[in-house]
Amino acid sequence: MAAKIRRSSAASRARMSILTIICLAVVASLVSTFLSDWMLKPNYYTIKQPGITRSVRIVQLSDLYGKSFGKENARLIEAVSILKPDIIDEFSGDGEVDLLCSTLSAFREIAPVYYAMGDQERGFIANGGESLVKKIKDTGTKILDYTFEDVKFEREIVGQSIRIGGVYGMLYKDNVSYGKEQEFMNKFTKTDLVTILLTHDGTGLLNYGNIKKWDVDITLSGHTIGGVVRFPVAGGLFGINGQFFSEYSKGMFTFEEEGGKKTAIVNAGLGNDREIPMRFNNFPDLVCIDIERALDS
């Protein structure tokens, strides 16, 4: 008697297909979560800026939160060194102070380092960590806290000067009272130099539109962690003030104004300020910015 061959039913095939899809989704999720915690790949932006006579390269780092890429951040230091920046900008989060300072010291051997204070630093100092500022300064890092500096890059043929400043605040220009941020911004923007503003939290400038009210050429911020969990098209899940899917969680944004173009770059950070959820589809953001001469300038 011939053996009977039982063929898979349509329902069995459908179940196997669904199970395969689920398994692939789980594996993809695990891989993405791992890469979002470990991978260091530069994210390049180019800004064409009037007033620039020679290109300037800035490496922007944000929200390290005590995370170490390799022993004593060796992989991060090497990645920054390979990029050969003119300036390194940092918004870190308090994290491990000794690790932060040793990393800043290594960066200082590569290029001048400018550090803007954020909410984590403010909280750390308020809770008895007053020595943080001194330790950072002892690395040779320049803290820009409601201060600015005119930086001159010397070259054999032609030099380039820019004004770089840092401020911690929401930058609401229409505040009822004339605040510390407004006083700083009025002084900072009173120049013909290209201006680069470091402000850890860009909420006031971007989400509330105040970038249009200040005469700043380039704004660099962090704080968002890229929305922590990122979805294709929709972007970062967690926004500001309890919102979801903020438009400005990561990337470069341009605003055309009567006085010229304004550019903002939001860094998605290197670490995470929470254990759950972990970063997902959100690789550590090693931002490399080339500011180049606009063709019409």
pLDDT means per 10 residues, the chain with 297 residues, are: 56 70 67 66 94 91 89 94 92 74 94 90 75 90 95 73 91 67 91 94 87 91 91 86 86 85 94 84 94 79
Query: What pLDDT was estimated at residue 270?
Result: 92
CA dist., res. 279 & res. 266, Å (int): 16
CA dist., res. 114 & res. 91, Å (int): 9
With beta carbons less than 8 A apart as the criterion, state whether 137 and 131 touch. Answer: no
In order of their start, the domains of the chain are 11-293 (3.60.21)
Range list of β-strands (E), the chain: 41-49, 56-62, 87-91, 113-115, 142-143, 147-153, 160-166, 194-198, 218-221, 230-231, 235-236, 251-257, 260-266, 285-293
CA dist., res. 158 & res. 175, Å (int): 42
- Closest CA relative to residue 224, chosen from 253, 201, 197: 201
Query: What pLDDT was estimated at residue 274?
Result: 78
Query: What pLDDT was estimated at residue 54?
Result: 85
With beta carbons less than 8 A apart as the criterion, state whether 223 and 62 touch. Answer: yes
pTM, entire model = 0.86
Query: What pLDDT was estimated at residue 296?
Result: 65
CA dist., res. 218 & res. 264, Å (int): 6
CB burial of residue 206 (10 Å; 0-12, 13-18, 19+): buried
